[in-house]
A and B are shown apart, each in its own frame.
Chain A
Amino acid sequence: MRGREDRDPNALRYSGKPGHVESYFLRANDPDRPRALWLKATVFAPIDGPAEMESWLIYFDGSRARPIAGRESVPLVGPVTEAVPGATRVHAARLHFELAGRGSAAGTVRTSTGDAHVDVTWSRSQSPVGAPLSMLPRRLAHGGSFPRSKLLSPLPSLLFSGTLDVNGEHVELRGWRGMQGHNWGREHAFEYAWGQCVFAPEGSEPEAMVEGLSARVRIGGRTTPLISCLAVRRGPRTFRFDRLVDLWRQHASVEADRWSLRMSGNDGEARLEMDATGRPIACLGYRNPDGHKSYCFNTKLATVRLQVQPARGSAFECRSEHGGALELLRRTPDPRFPDVV
């Protein structure tokens, strides 16, 4: 019998009831220049009011101070996803995803500079790094009421190709690296820092990736301290730091545009630094089903340094100059970002 934990990681969790928000998102980074594309399809079901589908697009170019970003909302009509053999189709406004190991995203999203057209395909990394990943312990990732928002990476390492037409610019995606994620819940976490980075294989160094999270969540009307988890993959090995409750082995620091995390556990010790200082950042207004608004400060061009001291084997380090996805969610806006998407 297939248990809940064996479900397709892209299976829709929205049951049609109010009080739910669920997203499928994609990210692709140019390995040679600080450029990145982020796409998201969201089903938003407020407690009061009709459900909507949202499409999101951000194009980050390190040569510009501000990214080009846009969002479209339409009433939810019909099913959110469509199951086809080996894939999950998602339609959000004029944006369409076919989520699979060999998948595609195509469509149009209105941005501050006019319509942006995207047409990309991807293939999953064939290394073990590309297997579906849950940072949270399995029992928490798939069920239960804690945490209220869940997160999975069905495709944590992808290789993209295709085109993006935005602001009169034609961008060719050739060998861009990225990932596909899936999150859902009754609300967004109260506050969080989330980061992900894929490190391409280089010489004898195998492919690697890191994904981590530090979040404050609401329990019984109180806000917890930062609770962190981290997963690192390098070649065939996975290092997990996901005990959650062992706060004495977690040291997280979230600043305006930076996040640092030190974790230790049975798999060893890991240190992660993600810095978006001076990089283009978009401020996204995330609605919660209960009416509260959260602000997500989102860049895909963060610098990343990951250092791991495994309990078994040699220490290693992975770096990226501009390949880090960094999202900092807060309950308050930031005056540096007057334009909220």
Chain B
Amino acid sequence: MTLSFVEAMRGWLRAGTGPDIPVSFEIHAVQRGRGRFEVKGVIAAPPLTRETPARGTLELGLRAIAYHLEFTSTDGRALTLDATKHPTLLSPLRSMTAMHAIVRDAEGTAVASGEMRFNTRDLPGFLRSWVPALGNAHRELDARRRQIERRTLARDGGS
């Protein structure tokens, strides 16, 4: 059986001495191997990037849950977001809901970093998303992502 789920994380990043940048992503993760998921979704970190499609991987292990997302900035640069949760029994809630995130450019230079969190109010929806028959969160997210892709194509094609 292939596992899948939909998850949203939100937070604030700091880029140099500038103001904090809000960051959010919502991903649909589909299992592609043992502990390895392919993810597709939507990320936003304005003004670095407005709402834009993102793709990447999620490595699910006992000691670490690692997110790697690839996306394009508003000015057309290729960027990545890497973030890792470190589950521990000493602090189960915090370690499973908070993670340090770093956005890097194509050269690997850190562009912004900060903390992202899973909102516990999203927990019921997150749990339901593991059972596709109980909802259509993944379909809604996939439709939103495709809509943003079309919008991006139309904008870039018209410029």
Residues of A within 8 A of B (CB): 203-205, 269, 271, 273, 305, 307-311, 313-317, 319
Contact = CB atoms under 8 A, between A and B. Distances in A.
How many of chain B's residues touch chain A, expressed as a range? 20 to 34
B130 to A, nearest CB: 19
A315 B10 contact: yes
Contact of A204 (B42, B45, B155): B155
Nearest to B11: A309
Contacts of B42: 314
Contact of A316 (B20, B26, B44, B151): B44
B19 A309 contact: no
Nearest to A316: B46
9 contacts: A271-B22, A307-B19, A309-B10, A309-B24, A314-B26, A314-B42, A315-B24, A316-B51, A317-B22
Interface in B33-48: 42-47
A243 to B, nearest CB: 16
Nearest to B47: A317
Nearest to A307: B22
A273 B19 contact: yes
A315 B45 contact: yes
Interface of B: 10, 12, 19-24, 26, 42-47, 50-51, 119, 121, 151, 155
7 pairs of A and B residues whose beta carbons are closest in the complex:
A317-B46, A315-B22, A314-B44, A314-B51, A315-B24, A309-B22, A315-B44
A317 B21 CA distance: 9
Contact of B24 (A205, A273, A314): A314
B119 A311 contact: yes
A315 B155 contact: no
Contact of B151 (A204, A305, A315): A204
B8 to A, nearest CB: 8
Contacts of B23: 315
A269 B24 CA distance: 12
Contacts of B43: 314
